[in-house]
Chain A
Amino acid sequence: MTESNYDEIMKLLCDRLSDLTNADVLITPETNLINQLSIDSIKLLNLIMEIEDAFDISIPINALTDVQTVRELANLVHKIKTTSS
């Protein structure tokens, strides 16, 4: 588990989320994906697919039920990435 890896994940997530949402919403690790960013489920699924390709992983859909914030998503991606490589 390397820090740079985690930071890389967090940066990619924040960049992609700010592209997807209103420019004046500040995205932090604590931002709630659904409540605060009001991303619809299709956009979220597309984002997940992009992340999967970027890190060459598959995110099980059942794991996403526990994800609310940007940090939780980053943690999940990091966990899958480190256990699969």
Chain B
Amino acid sequence: MNLLEKLDAAAAARKALLPNGVGAFGIPIEEIFSATEARIGDRRVLLMGTNNYLGLTFSPECIRAAHEAIDKEGTGTTGSRMANGSYFGHRALEKEFADFYQCSSGIVFTTGYQANLGTISGLVGPGDTVLIDGDSHASIFDGCILSGANIIRFKHNDMADMEKRLRRLGDNIETTLIIAEGIYSMLGDQAPLADIVQLKNKYGGILLLDEAHSLGVLGKTGQGLVETTGLLNEVDFITGTFSKSLCSIGGFCVSNHPQLEQLRYVSHPYIFTASPSPATIASTRAALELLQKGSHLRDKLWSNCRQLYSQLQEVGYQLGPDPGPVIAAVVATPQQALLLWKQLLEHNIYVNLILPPAAPEGKSLVRCSVNAAHTTEEIRYVGDTFAKLYGAISTQT
């Protein structure tokens, strides 16, 4: 098989799984109206599948900051942080992230994906070990591959399995990086951070926590899982993204280890890419301020989350173990998932469809993401629609 034939074979396998699945992935959004509404085809839909957890995509403060930055600094930096791409805003945002997490240093990356790639591949290399959760996000896994370290996975959130693997590391624990996530993006469940920290303290290793989905969502000031658990000082490195609750694009890593600064000189995903545009940095800075002050947004977000989670649970949908902004209905087959996804769209609700192999353990998911800008009525409409479709979905084979 030549290279192009291999792609044809992969495309054929995809089409065999979902013969009527055309359009489910990469759906064209024709117009975007607000944090919760868009036009798809000729439908005005309710957006229930974005990562806009605090609903800040149209916040006047962020928009104004972005406009001003474009006017003052132009559309792009046209260069790497290593060369001509470190403007005042990049450095200020790094300081603001470090202060937010009470850390001595912070680094801004061009995407959250690169924050994980760059941090992981900067911290470990060939001969070292990464111990990662089995449900880790692709950016974590790809960072591990890029590093050349030995990759050992423990079963998702299974502390007995994690402990077994820590014990088996023996002296290699000295050069081991442990990685977990604040909120896992597939089922919306949280890492058992207190247990992870306890095991880290017993066996050793360095701990990195990706707060991509928990930043702005968990904790009084929105720091994430480190705040709700009170374990900020026990985590060595925190990464996260601007693309979810901060409503722009980019990523960061903060730490109290002064060695973090060295990553700027060794980490290819930091060096060999252009720095975020001035508008991106400016809107992120404005959003970070709103996020810290946004406990009213978090209250609204969580009340929406609880409302939808309990309604779907009552109807009989199988959900992830914790209520939260990511609420995934686990269905038996890809066909059921596609049917549910399509029917929801017919009812003007856009959610995410996740099929094997993207979802863990061969599961098929119809995933909702709740945000603070959804009204109680909108959440009720989504819950009622899921309820109405339950019968048809569960009898579909």
Contacts and interface: CB of A to CB of B under 8 A. Distances in A.
Do A and B truly interact? yes
Interface of A: 42, 56-58, 60-63, 84
A60 B152 contact: yes
A63 B168 contact: no
Contacts of B165: 58
21 contacts: A42-B362, A56-B168, A57-B168, A58-B152, A58-B165, A58-B168, A58-B169, A60-B129, A60-B150, A60-B151, A60-B152, A61-B151, A61-B152, A61-B153, A62-B144, A62-B145, A62-B150, A62-B151, A63-B150, A84-B168, A84-B170
Nearest to B152: A58
Nearest to A42: B362
A35 B313 CA distance: 43
Interface of B: 129, 144-145, 150-153, 165, 168-170, 362
Nearest to B361: A42
Interface of A is mostly: helix
A57 B151 CA distance: 13
A63 B362 CA distance: 23
CB-CB nearest 4 A-B residue pairs: A60-B150, A58-B152, A58-B168, A62-B151
Contacts of A57: 168
Contacts of A42: 362
Contacts of A60: 129, 150-152
Contacts of B144: 62
B159 to A, nearest CB: 16
Nearest to B168: A58
Contacts of B168: 56-58, 84
Nearest to A84: B170
Contacts of B145: 62
A43 to B, nearest CB: 12
Nearest to B357: A41
A54 to B, nearest CB: 13
B122 to A, nearest CB: 18
